[in-house]
Amino acid sequence: MRCFKVTVEFDGTEFCGFQLQAGQRSVQGEIERAVQQITGQPVRVVGAGRTDAGVHAMGQVVGFRADTRIPIERMAAALNSALPRDVAAVRAVEVDPGFHARFSAVSRAYAYLILLRDSPSALFRRYAWHLPVPLDVGAMQEAARRLEGTRDFAAWAGASETVTTVRTVTRCRLRQHGPFLMVHVEANAFLKGMVRTIVGTLVQVGLGRRAPEEVDRITGSRDRSQAGPSAPAHGLCLVRVRYPRIGIQGGARSAGRSSQDRGATDEDL
């Protein structure tokens, strides 16, 4: 039995989310169908992140085990021959059996795209939150920096099924390119809805409805009602999952450099 690690992209518009849900179309379900089609065997696919309905990905990582003779350098192409147009396998590598797409990850990075102009976009309507009002980006930057570090993020997420709501945010910064404002957030792990709540609250800061220092009070409250509304799902994209150096069985990727050339971490973009 071989163990595969595959980086995938998907447009989340037509999905109920990554995870399987009865009677609904999911990214996990489409990938599992594709793997079964090319290998002739049912498999369970594990994802690094359980993205919500409407959320996109350019660096989601999935893992699965299969007894197949498909060469590793052909695995991504084989999957793409069976995947729908809104899901694509970007690269694949064969890894040691101990690899787990979710639990082996050391961090995830998300980007949230906001379009700041009067007119909406025909091209980015599925991928950016359109706000026809000016924002104080400097105030938003100050508020974002207050979220970095190890904190209890209970106030920034919905009901949690995890044992602890403590997370370490290593980066929360904003970049502006013309009319586009991008919020970058990276952490060891995220609570459900956490990034969208962060973005929604930062927008309130940018509108002058909250002061940047109010972020500290919100975090200390551990009360979700104290934070702002969730930003729309369609502006959010999972861009990267980092892993420690992992053992490579097949020794080759379908595309890009081998992970041995990448140093201490394995970054998937």
Q: Which amino acid is at 98?
A: G
Alpha helices in the chain (DSSP H): 27-39, 72-82, 137-145, 194-206, 214-221
For the record, the structure tokens of 133 come out as 């009002």
Percentages (nearest 5) of helix, strand, coil residues in the chain: 25, 30, 45
Distance CA 187, CA 110 (A): 9
Distance CA 50, CA 175 (A): 25
Question: Which sign, positive or negative, has the C-alpha torsion 20, 6, 189, 185?
Answer: negative
CA 247 to chain centroid: 24
Active site residues: 52
